[in-house]
Amino acid sequence: ETAARALVDTLGHGSVVQADLADESAVDALFADSAPTLVVHNAAAQPVAALGDMSFEDWRDMMATNLDSAFLVTQRAALAWISAGRPGAIVNIGSTEALDPAAGHAHYATSKAGLLMLTRAAALEFGSSNIRVNCVSPGLTDREGLARDWPDGVRRWLDRVPLGRLGSPNDVADAVLFLLSPAARFISGANLVVDGGMSAHSKW
């Protein structure tokens, strides 16, 4: 909440609302109180667990946070726009792991792969109502303390990424802004990979 309010203060306008996006009734209440014109779905968790050690509860928690929430937000936003006779645009935040999973991330990668298909399905079904749905899939994106917390991963990324650096939050934000903007008015069902060219590498 503190970070969200600080962002609104920086922007100079807006409001802060809160809901458990994996809870159907909470999402319904959220949309009853607000009427967004654009939606970015970025609710996610990324715990690490070996597939053989993972509990079913771990699996279900991941799907609820990363995928169920996207279904609820996408559906409710689209239905609200259709009811109001308005166009709309949604961008889901995916991951390059949807196509290239890492060890210990089976549940995370599966949830993000499902998010890609949800994005395409929503684009197909809601397109006739002038609602666009796209996905942005970042690669390794820098944050405070990342190099300290995961030095091996950062080093391996920097050794291979064609553009020679980590992604930044602004790299991802600019891709989202493009897909939400009129510049992307004829783009729907797309997955824009923001990974500095890492996915261009041969896998063998």
Note the pLDDT of residue 46.
85
Which one is catalytic: 108, 194, 195, 196?
108
Q: Per residue in 23-65, pLDDT tens? A: 999 999 999 988 899 999 999 888 888 888 989 999 999 999 9
pTM of the model: 0.93
Task: Say if residue 204's pLDDT is above 80.
Answer: no
- 108 in active site: yes
Rounded mean pLDDT of 79-97? Answer: 96
3-state DSSP of the chain: CHHHHHHHHHHCCCCCCCCCCCCHHHHHHHHHHCCCCEEEECCCCCCCCCCCCCCHHHHHHHHHHHHHHHHHHHHHHHHHHHHHCCCEEEEEECCHHHCCCCCCCHHHHHHHHHHHHHHHHHHHHHHHHCEEEEEEEECCECCCCHHHHCHHHHHHHHHHCCCCCCECHHHHHHHHHHHHCHHHCCCCCCEEEECCCHHHCCCC
Task: Say if residue 103's pLDDT is above 90.
Answer: no
Q: Per residue in 146-170, pLDDT tens? A: 999 989 999 999 999 999 999 999 9
Task: Say if residue 197's pLDDT is above 90.
Answer: yes
Note the pLDDT of residue 174.
98
Note the pLDDT of residue 49.
85
Note the pLDDT of residue 39.
97
